[in-house]
Structure 1
Amino acid sequence: MEVIALFAVFLVLLLVGVPIAFSLGIASLSYLLLAGIPLTIVPQRLYAGVDTFVLLCIPGFVLAGNLMNVGNITEHIVRFSNALVGHIRGGLGLANVGGSMIFGGISGTAVADAASIGSVMIPGMSKAGYDKPFSAAVTAASSTIGPIIPPSVPMIIAGSLTGVSVGRMFLAGAIPGLLLGLAMMVTVYLLAIRRGYPKEKRVSLLQLVREGRTAFWALLMTAIILYGIIGGFFTPTEASIIASLYALVVGMYVYKGLSWRKLPAILTDTVLTSSALLLLVGLANLFGWILTSQQIPQMVAAGILSISESPLVVILILNLIMLFVGAFMETIAALIILFPALLGVATGVGMDPVHFAVMAVLNLMIGLTTPPVGVCLFVVAGIGNLQMLTVARAILPFLACNLAVLLMVSYVPSISLWLPNLILGQ
């Protein structure tokens, strides 16, 4: 009875538009009251949910992304990407994807990518002759590359849940992220040829070198983060602080977009964003604790394995579950609730935990561009002053492309595991 009330309250609140964190908290509170469990468990589980060293890097990476965004890094990334591929048919669309791949290596979050790249590219592409729904769809779709290419906030969360090396998961996401970006570029190019989108004038070698030199500092930041973590020089948490300091220096003294006057607003925004994320993590941990105490994960695992024990079928079912949940639930909450439950099913059919983590994050990233709760769709629709349904229709070719990459990553483990095994060993 109490479990039914838990899910009923959660779904009703979600459907009426209550934020996901409060939906989780109120549903959990209703369960505790009905079950007669002392409410002292609430602060205990909230604290336990965020009392993980690796989660400290979330505010650091959020701050780094905010500093680089305000420090004009987005503009330089877009200009460099456009200099590389702008002369190809649909070049601004290709530059949009390329910019997201670079920016994703800085912020690690899809929503930040969609907001920052979108504010530059959607108006620019519209002026250049691209229809606005296509511009918004490219921006939303490519923003999902960010949390696959390291550093990745969802992979940090997954690592904190399972104890799997965050550095290994960062490496595991590199090739799938690049594959996702290339697949989107092919989709953009084919649509551009079919619809007759324009192309930019080819830049000179001197100008390309000049733009590359300017974007060098952004690329170097990603290299420092990865080399430091993988080389064992610092932890992901320490990397986030180094990234923030680096972003402060580069944004203030190289790109000159930052000033001391802007820092209070940046820090305030970082605190609000990080607090919301960590509150969500804590409340999702309370919800997850209730599910675990009621042995819901074991029931889910048993139910899936009762359908089939074939790895091919089980992997397909896991993908379908995560795609469905990702379309309705915020990424971090879905990861905390689903990941521990489904990890046991995945390892039970022989999947490597790192491989499953990449597959899970990719599924939930696709959910960010899938109605009805596709957060990135709402962001780009707001920037482009478009209806949500219009953007949802325009993004369908990119969803098909992303699903094709998802199937490849799901059924070819070496795409995820080759690089971490090569660098860090089996």
Structure 2
Amino acid sequence: MTNTSYPASYYAASANPVPARPALQDDVETDVCVIGAGYTGLSSALFLLENGFKVTVLEAAKVGFGASGRNGGQIVNSYSRDIDVIERSVGPQQAQLLGNMAFEGGRIIRERVAKYQIQCDLKDGGVFAALTAKQMGHLESQKRLWERFGHTQLELLDQRRIREVVACDEYVGGMLDMSGGHIHPLNLALGEAAAVESLGGVIYEQSPAVRIERGASPVVHTPQGKVRAKFIIVAGNAYLGNLVPELAAKSMPCGTQVIATEPLGDELARSLLPQDYCVEDCNYLLDYYRLTGDKRLIFGGGVVYGARDPANIEAIIRPKMLKALPQLKDVKIDYAWTGNFLLTLSRLPQVGRLGDNIYYSQGCSGHGVTYTHLAGKVLAEALRGQAERFDAFADLPHYPFPGGQLLGTPLAAMGAWYYGLRDKLGF
């Protein structure tokens, strides 16, 4: 059987040591079978184990192999479409429920890190950086919106103030969210996996789910074994493939690219980001960056629709980095990698149930670090019979991409080109 290892990323190179986890080679029984050992699956497993369920996790490769172990590492609140957009779509009552949950994921991450003593370089503070007066106006509206839902750890930054937190001359202002922040994402996933195992959960790596036998007692088949469960949670996101055709039709895997510099040294690192906050700009096709624990700069951006790997990631991302931070023109890039996230047409997550016992959450649309941790709690609540918050997500309207993924990919790329042009022209 093929042994799938991590991609050659900075995160894999600096991962905390972990025990070897076997592939499933037997027939086992459990209360809940979780498909996917990324944040959604691990968060679900933890909440279920804490509430007395017996849990088995199947991972096709290694813990955190997908987006959970490759992302920019930024703790960003709310959803890929903000609460006001949701409110216009579904009305005030459902939006109120979703708005009340929009800032919960970051709290869950911090609770997990503290409770299970996870070493993942957690730092507080995230900056949304405005490149135009229009973007600054949007941040002012966003601050009022978030404060309406009780989120108050926010500070608007004028041009002078943003220069104090990030050494980029392009920004006209910004907003600081002190409940945002950043982490080593793979080490967070590895720490959560260890927490799952400390509570009696079992994780099988190199054990892809190849078929789900639906029914009153569903069975998940892997190449060398099977898991019979009372419930299944499908948490494969962009790496699920066509295991569940109903889910594949309403989503599209997309690739994003990330680079990591050589270590910058204390002086240069402190001059770029004196308070060690993470940064993302306000463009539709946004760039994001932050410092690592060993003072490298992680810089990411760009989207490849259909999740093809570009031939030269550094050639795509390095010019973006130098436009924001020309101080790094002589700095070497040590790592470059890509990872997939799952896009939905609405850019809102898809949550639901197939039959009576197969639950799923997918389609974070690039906003997954916090949402996936919330999703795990919401899925666990639903399995315990508390479905109000689950239903608030499940009732969001979702539609298939026009023409399926074959036509959806070029259409999405055309839409991204249009909005990218608007960003460049300042509309």
Scaled by the length of structure 2, what TM-score is found? 0.29
Task: Please identify which structure carries the higher strand content.
Answer: 2
